Chains A and B, each alone.
Chain A
């Protein structure tokens, strides 16, 4: 048993739902009790979908367990096929049904339907949502294409030249409840088109069964989201010899690399390396003097594997930040994230315990957090600005406006959405600084509401529940992220006064450093001199 207060990923059958709901003409019969129907709201509320996900739940009850649950499964399959007339049927079970072993996939296979049926076995007690989505996409594509005639030896990704047509690629991986997938597809299709590359088909988002059947017609597969697409792309490489791209085109450098990789695999001439500078505003905005203050900003990054890797590269190479913490909740992506961390001189945090992530965040004392919606909340408690870069999805991650992460426009979006919270953080400082000027209008509102500036940013839920967490120790009254035991240390009035003059967003760090310094020197009292001594010590 594992104590879980909150989970980044749902169970694997929710991943399967993401694939089914992304597509057209696919229906999913899920052997599951009634409570599991909650998953519909992920699509109808979070994604604001105007359609129910194409899922029939068998909603078996305790009283059914004594009888013939297999018959109940068959009845629901029959009704679903008659009512929805799908082009392909997915059949699987959720955690509870897995225990009663009705094998709904085998049952469906024996019912004599004239349509492709894919039986999903998604171990609910060891796997999670992204794995479930990946496995479902792989099983579906494999199930539909395994008898396809194309042979691995015959594929040549440069064949478009002799065929006298433009090269064409598949975009694999975008799905509902994936981060900005809808807009990434538009942006990447546009980008490829500008290089004379056509999109053969996009899978699974908005794909039909006929689209899946056309997958082997492409010269190349573009693996957009490794978590979901890689196993499917690998299978197509083995089965049909179709190579696939590995670079996720998020950020100016990665987009350029992606274009180079695509051109290379397709046998095209390498694209102009300066395209990024010309097409995205990020390089110039980052170089402009206004951005000088971004230099060395301490940033903590957490999320799914692929978005974290992309964010680390942008932070490090394109914005001149200092990455001070990096981690992921995707165990499947632990290896590359560990490698990226190592290259940055860090140790990666691989965890799905959000409290451990919050503790690591507090420990790293970042000035900006790039994380999921949960890190946004943790950062808010700690008084640190945050931008969201990854799932799990929240209604705010489905903006009305065009807001991709990928490609040149994605880099623009990222510049704005990361730098804006930092600016707001600076504004908080200014509000605090001018609070005592007589011109300052009392009640000036910051973006944190009336509690802005030097006041507590902790506005959400009564802290009574957080007995020993970092948030309470400092009361975050100084927007500080630190909670170091100070039992044996005492700050003099003059020391505290000096500390107060330091901008709130670095004050926590200064306090912590000074106390560490004092302990090291065996001091008990910290006055303004100690503070300056510590300052000199640490900058030396």
Chain B
């Protein structure tokens, strides 16, 4: 088979767990609260990954299990009721409460579904309580969002209406822009999951076309399919090319003619080339090594190679869903090593041996690599930055050219 070379390895990993996605999910839905049922480690992880400090009372927290809970001296279900009610009393504006499973809660098999159901019944009409797992023994980083969205799918109202459903968290301005562009393509009925208000859940049904904005939403996509929606397969909207093909795929599904597609998107593509040009100057011919973390690695590699002229040394990914990634894999150059899973020590050996110009990695590894003289880009920044869409291609490229420019500046 032609195309990239698919490889696998296992060993010690250096990745976040699914709890981390709470960091952007809670900002997307200001009327939702994420209550992790776990340990002090979980609480410490989220506050550390969220960056430094909290400026106001956060909309996430942890119900920390203690020895009484583990020894069975306290009834876990009663404790969950007590803590949830304490929280909701404190925060009367909360409309959706996510009970989020963690490694310890999964290992002791704490039944969060039962708790969610009971609390939902009790609080009917005021607060919806749902549950999912963000545990690190089952999920990696961005997969937490998949879990959270999948937990909402059963609550989406049914509708046969013809509509486009964008699935996956986007920065609000980026989402507005994409909706504006779809409107120009005469696709006017557009909803988002997650919505900006947790109570404003989109409908779903046979008339719904699902377009995934992020590559890590496998379970959510499957559940939406089960609800009758058609889930499109397209490259992901990172970079001008990917974003164009992503929009085109939706437009074709809505039977928009090619002339109209071209008239809306071609000028954007031309403008994107102008925005990309200075970054391509910096990135062209440079060698990049992507360590697995955010699951955005494949689309990013495709963008950096095809639109920025970078050479791909190795593309890591925490896990590979070949169906969902088929279009991305097809666009990667022949023989690109795509490494699923991780043995962080062996991978760092390969980084050192190959001496790439830029490494995409997690925050635990960035400064140590910088200290060895290797420029890095933190993967977590990519999930916080508005990088989706044709108009954002320049910004996306800039995230990669900046560390290289900085290295050049400091060298002189």
Chain A residues proximal to chain B, CB less than 8 Å = 1-7, 9-11, 13-14, 33-42, 44-45, 48-52, 56-62, 65, 76, 79, 83, 94-96, 99-100, 123-126, 128, 355, 373-374, 377, 381, 394-395, 460-469, 471
Contact = CB atoms under 8 A, between A and B. Distances in A.
9 contacts: A2-B66, A5-B62, A6-B54, A35-B20, A44-B365, A50-B372, A52-B364, A95-B40, A460-B55
Given A1-B66, A50-B368, A52-B365, 4 more contacts: A34-B140, A124-B39, A124-B40, A125-B39
A374 B47 CA distance: 12
B59 interface: yes
B61 A4 contact: yes
Given A1-B69, A464-B30, A10 B44 contact: yes
B165 to A, nearest CB: 27
B50 to A, nearest CB: 10
A117 B86 CA distance: 45
A523 B107 CA distance: 61
Contacts of B17: 33-35, 38
A1 B64 contact: yes
Contacts of A10: 40-41, 44, 48
Interface size class of B (residues with CB under 8 A): 35 or more
Contacts of A377: 53-55
Count chain B CB atoms within 10 A of each CB in A11, A395, A464, A471 and give the residue with the most: A11
Interface of B: 11-20, 30, 37-45, 47-49, 52-67, 69-70, 74, 76, 79-80, 82-83, 86-87, 90-93, 103-104, 106-108, 135-138, 140, 345, 362-368, 370-372
A33 B93 contact: no
Contacts of B364: 37-41, 44-45, 52
Count chain A CB atoms within 10 A of each CB in B11, B44, B69, B90 and give the residue with the most: B44
Count chain B CB atoms within 10 A of each CB in A6, A51, A468 and give the residue with the most: A6
A128 B40 contact: yes
B366 to A, nearest CB: 7
B92 A467 contact: yes
Q: Which 5 A-B pairs have the closest CB atoms?
A: A35-B17, A50-B371, A40-B364, A35-B136, A460-B55
B43 A6 contact: yes
Contact of B49 (A7, A38, A61): A38
A38 B45 contact: yes
A45 B380 CA distance: 13
Contacts of B41: 10-11, 13-14, 35-36, 94-96, 124
A459 B40 CA distance: 29
B67 to A, nearest CB: 5
Count chain A CB atoms within 10 A of each CB in B11, B37, B43, B103 and give the residue with the most: B103
B9 to A, nearest CB: 13
Contacts of B59: 465
Contacts of A35: 15-20, 41-42, 45, 103, 135-136
A118 to B, nearest CB: 20
A41 B345 contact: no
A100 B107 contact: yes
Contact of A11 (B40, B86, B140): B40
B137 A44 contact: no
A76 B13 CA distance: 11
B17 to A, nearest CB: 3
Contacts of B54: 5-6, 374, 377
A467 B91 contact: yes
A34 B102 CA distance: 12
B351 to A, nearest CB: 13
A4 B35 CA distance: 9
A467 to B, nearest CB: 6
Given A38-B45, A44-B363, A465 B57 contact: yes
Contacts of B363: 40-41, 44-45
B402 to A, nearest CB: 18
A463 B136 contact: no
A99 B12 contact: no
B93 to A, nearest CB: 6
A469 B54 CA distance: 15
B103 A4 contact: no
A436 B66 CA distance: 57
B14 A1 contact: no
Nearest to B71: A125
Contacts of B16: 34-35, 37-38
Contact of A6 (B58, B90, B366, B372): B58
B40 A4 contact: yes
A4 B13 CA distance: 28
A4 B104 contact: no
A25 B11 CA distance: 22
Contact of A83 (B108, B345, B370): B345
A457 B43 CA distance: 28
A460 B56 contact: yes
B64 A4 contact: yes
B35 to A, nearest CB: 8
A462 B57 CA distance: 10
B137 A49 contact: no
A40 B365 contact: yes
B87 A3 contact: yes
A381 B49 CA distance: 23
B319 to A, nearest CB: 11
